[in-house]
């Protein structure tokens, strides 16, 4: 009996929350929905250490098993074809199957071919089947790695042509050659795959080459369709999850929970510990809460292995929940930096990430829901923070300013007496020169640094201090108007600030705090100031002014849905026609139709490349529709 499932055309994957490249998404599969980032425990149908139904209670939403192992066992093969993979494994959650490419590479040539193993996976009724890709080792020459890329692509075309109605996984290969990885990713993205595993990385992880792993992931991401989930093949250790999630990996698979258990090793977010070397169990999972290290050592081997495997899974799923909460709050960078301090190899990986700032910046929001927490010089090198510091310094150096030393925030309160002088001021902060007008704007106003600064921070401050202007003449300054202009330049750039504030500016302040809340120009309400991050929200009158910018600046262009959007309904990705490439997630934008008529103002969810690829989910959260007169 065959359990072939006819899948709808096009996988549904929708982003719900995001933090840079990291994303919480919903993946819809024939056997249910999966919330990413997700861990797929590897199930060996020959050895049932922990039943899938027990893992479901711990947080498992999806599983992966090896179709080649099943094919190689006459008994298993017959049963799996007769009953279907879900019944054999004892779960009705989504199941993905691997093709055996890794096993074939390690143990010798597999006795099957691409279409045979794919046809078998289809007959099992799996949710996602994986092509028989060609594994590329890190030590491969460029010629060998290129061969793996070309052969994997050839097999991918063969699979997509002959199996158009099941979900397929198309791995990215290419060894440690970045250009080859990007090329492979582009080739595989050109085919109708459902997800893209990044393959050939297990040797990098086994040898703690995390810096090289970062290069492989980023070079692959550069060429991949951003609307498809990315699976980091063989990434089963929780200490890698935050790093990989930060780089946009959505799925992980783990046989480590079992392999480590058989070797009496316990997994933790900071690494692995041998049971024989432990006296205390630094964990509060049900296993570690019930037993001591001594009690585990004295147990019969089979029971001990099962309990350690349970511990490893509890730790893994707990780390994924922490990652999701960090994505929701917008502080995944902090989590990665904290984890990087636990191992030198992870610190190497973090510093390698920072070398790809130009690429990562395209996905980094200008503001976040959380406070910026400094944990080392790397914190100031984050792509979004470097951009903010650069923009602030540009504004600070446009006009002569008296430079003040770093002080307690908000600067305007600390230097309240000095601000009575009719001069422009900037603060020589750890970020760089920050105009006084931006002291309540993210990240400058929402940041925490140690009282004892790092050597690198002190040196940078001292260098700026030597070239600072300490005395400038007084001039007639309206601090409210200066603040309005500075924030507009910081958020919208010089062109946007000029268009938004062209005319007579007036402000309305909060009666409670005395801070600016609303900005009017020539009597029109163009902007409102958010108290939580010091950024503006755009009003319809402001949106009309931004229409004067050169097309498509500040715009999300839609092909349909004018009336719904005018009524304040959100913009869905499937209707997006074009996007200003300068817009970043959480930016304020204007929504227009193909006639360049204003439909709404709102907040960007997806950047240009994402909005043009995704066919599901919200691209713009509309705040206010532009109803027809």
Q: Which pair of structure tokens corresponds to residue 192?
A: 């109708």
Whether 31 contacts 68, CB under 8 Å = no
SS3 260: helix
Residue 98 annotated among the catalytic residues of the structure: yes
Which residues share a beta bridge with 564? none
Catalytic pick among 98, 127, 133, 580 = 98
User: For strand 230-232 and strand 251-254, is the pairing parallel, antiparallel, or unpaired?
Assistant: parallel
| Stretch(es) of the chain classified as CATH 3.90.1020.10 | 362-466
Give the CA radius of gyration of the chain. Answer: 27
Give backbone dihedrals phi and psi of 245, rounded to 5 degrees, phi first. -65, -40
pLDDT digits (tens, 9 = 90+) for 7-22: 445 788 999 999 999 9
400: exposed, middle or buried (C-beta count within 10 Å: 0-12, 13-18, 19+)? middle
pLDDT digits (tens, 9 = 90+) for 492-508: 999 999 999 999 999 99
**Could you identify the residue written with the tokens 């709050």?**
329
Give the pLDDT of residue 48: 84
Confidence class of residue 2 from pLDDT cuts 50, 70 and 90? very low
Share of the chain above pLDDT 90, in %: 84
| Stretch(es) of the chain classified as CATH 2.30.130.10 | 479-625
pLDDT digits (tens, 9 = 90+) for 307-345: 999 999 999 999 999 999 999 999 999 999 999 999 999
Nearest to 315 by CA among 274, 270, 279: 270
Range with the lowest mean pLDDT among 319-323, 363-367, 421-425? 421-425
d(CA 1, CA 181): 40
d(CA 340, CA 347): 5
| Stretch(es) of the chain classified as CATH 3.20.20.105 | 34-351
HSE-up (13 A, CA, CB side) for residue 260 = 25
Contacts (Cβ under 8 Å, ≥6 apart) of 407: 414, 415, 427
Mean pLDDT of the region 164-192: 97
CATH of 362-466, one of 3.40.309.10, 3.90.1020.10, 3.40.50.11540, 3.30.1370.160: 3.90.1020.10
- Architecture of 34-351 per CATH? Alpha-Beta Barrel (3.20)
d(CA 65, CA 359): 34
Q: Is the pLDDT of residue 5 over 80?
A: no
Q: Which residues of 532-568 are buried (b: 16+ CB within 10 A; e: fewer)?
A: ebbbbebbbbbbbbbbebeebbbbbbbeebbebbbee
Q: Is the pLDDT of residue 99 over 90?
A: no
- What does the mean pLDDT of the chain come to? 93
pLDDT digits (tens, 9 = 90+) for 258-273: 999 999 999 999 999 9
pLDDT digits (tens, 9 = 90+) for 538-557: 999 999 999 999 999 999 99
Please tell us whether the domain made up of 479-625 is placed in CATH 2.30.130.10.
yes
Alpha-carbon torsion (139, 141, 144, 149), positive or negative: positive
d(CA 622, CA 171): 37
Mean pLDDT of the region 415-422: 90
Give the pLDDT of residue 106: 56
Whether 543 contacts 598, CB under 8 Å = yes
Is it true that the peptide bond before 552 is cis, omega within 30 degrees of 0? Answer: yes
The secondary structure of 590-607 as a DSSP string is: EEE-TT--EEEEEEESS-
Q: Is the pLDDT of residue 168 over 50?
A: yes
Give backbone dihedrals phi and psi of 229, rounded to 5 degrees, phi first. -60, 145
Comparing 388 with 458, the larger pLDDT belongs to 388
Range with the lowest mean pLDDT among 290-294, 366-370, 493-497, 600-604? 366-370
Q: Which helix (H) or strand (E) holds 617?
A: none
Task: Give the predicted TM-score (pTM) of the model.
Answer: 0.95
Whether 89 contacts 95, CB under 8 Å = yes
Q: Which helix (H) or strand (E) holds 493?
A: helix 479-500
Nearest to 388 by CA among 456, 327, 444: 444
């Amino acid at each position: 009996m065959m359990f072939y499932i006819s899948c709808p055309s096009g996988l549904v994957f929708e982003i719900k929350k995001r933090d840079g490249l990291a994303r919480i998404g919903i993946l819809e599969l024939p056997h249910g929905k999966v919330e990413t980032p997700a861990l797929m425990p590897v199930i060996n149908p020959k050895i049932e250490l922990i039943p899938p139904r027990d893992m479901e209670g711990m947080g498992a939403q999806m599983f992966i098993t090896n179709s080649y192992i099943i094919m190689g066992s006459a008994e298993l093969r017959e049963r799996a074809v007769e009953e279907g993979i879900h019944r054999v494994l004892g779960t009705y959650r989504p199941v993905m199957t691997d093709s055996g490419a890794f096993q074939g590479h390690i143990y010798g040539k597999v006795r099957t071919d691409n279409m045979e193993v794919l046809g078998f996976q289809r007959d099992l009724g799996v949710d996602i089947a994986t092509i028989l890709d060609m594994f590329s080792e890190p030590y491969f020459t460029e010629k060998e790695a290129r061969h793996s890329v070309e052969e994997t692509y050839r097999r991918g075309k063969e699979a997509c042509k002959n199996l158009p109605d099941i979900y397929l996984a198309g791995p990215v290969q290419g060894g440690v050659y970045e250009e080859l990885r990007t090329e492979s990713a582009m080739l595989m993205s050109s085919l109708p795959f459902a997800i893209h595993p990044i393959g050939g990385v297990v040797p990098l992880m086994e040898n703690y080459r995390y810096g090289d792993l970062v290069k492989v992931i980023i070079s692959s991401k550069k060429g991949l369709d951003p609307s498809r989930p990315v699976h980091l093949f063989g990434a089963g250790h929780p200490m890698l999850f935050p790093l990989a999630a930060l780089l946009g990996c959505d799925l992980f698979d783990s046989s480590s929970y079992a392999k480590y258990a058989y070797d009496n090793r316990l997994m933790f977010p900071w690494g692995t510990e041998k049971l024989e070397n432990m006296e205390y169990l630094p964990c509060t999972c049900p296993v570690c809460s019930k037993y001591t290290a001594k009690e585990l050592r004295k147990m019969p081997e089979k029971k001990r292995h099962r309990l350690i495997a349970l511990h490893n899974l509890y730790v893994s799923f707990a780390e994924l929940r922490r990652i999701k909460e960090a994505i929701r709050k917008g502080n995944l960078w902090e989590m990665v930096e904290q984890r990087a301090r636990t191992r030198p190899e992870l610190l190497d990986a973090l510093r390698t990430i920072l070398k790809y700032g130009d690429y990562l910046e395209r996905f980094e929001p200008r503001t976040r829901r959380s406070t910026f927490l400094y944990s080392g010089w790397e914190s100031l090198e984050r792509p979004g923070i470097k951009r903010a510091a650069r923009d602030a310094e540009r504004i600070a150096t446009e006009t002569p300013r008296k430079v003040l030393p770093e002080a307690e925030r908000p600067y305007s309160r600390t230097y309240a007496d000095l601000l009575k002088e009719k001069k422009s001021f900037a603060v020589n902060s750890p970020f760089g020169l920050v105009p006084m007008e931006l002291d309540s704007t993210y990240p400058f106003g929402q940041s925490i640094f140690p009282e004892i600064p790092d050597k690198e921070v002190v040196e940078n401050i001292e260098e700026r201090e030597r070239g600072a202007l300490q005395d400038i003449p007084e001039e007639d300054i309206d601090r409210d108007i200066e603040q309005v202009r500075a924030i507009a330049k910081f958020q919208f750039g010089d062109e946007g600030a000029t268009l938004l504030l062209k005319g007579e500016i007036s402000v309305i302040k909060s009666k409670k705090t005395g801070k600016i809340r609303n900005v009017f120009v020539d009597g029109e309400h163009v902007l409102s100031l958010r108290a939580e991050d010091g950024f503006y929200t755009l009003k319809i009158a402001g949106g009309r002014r931004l229409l004067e910018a050169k097309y498509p600046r500040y715009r999300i262009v839609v092909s349909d849905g004018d009336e719904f959007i005018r009524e304040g309904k959100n913009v869905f990705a499937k209707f997006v026609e074009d996007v200003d490439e300068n817009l970043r997630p959480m930016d304020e934008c204007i929504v227009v139709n193909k006639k360049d008529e204003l439909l709404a103002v709102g907040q960007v969810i997806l950047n240009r490349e994402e909005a043009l690829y995704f066919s599901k989910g919200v691209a713009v959260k509309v705040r206010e529709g532009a109803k027809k007169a």
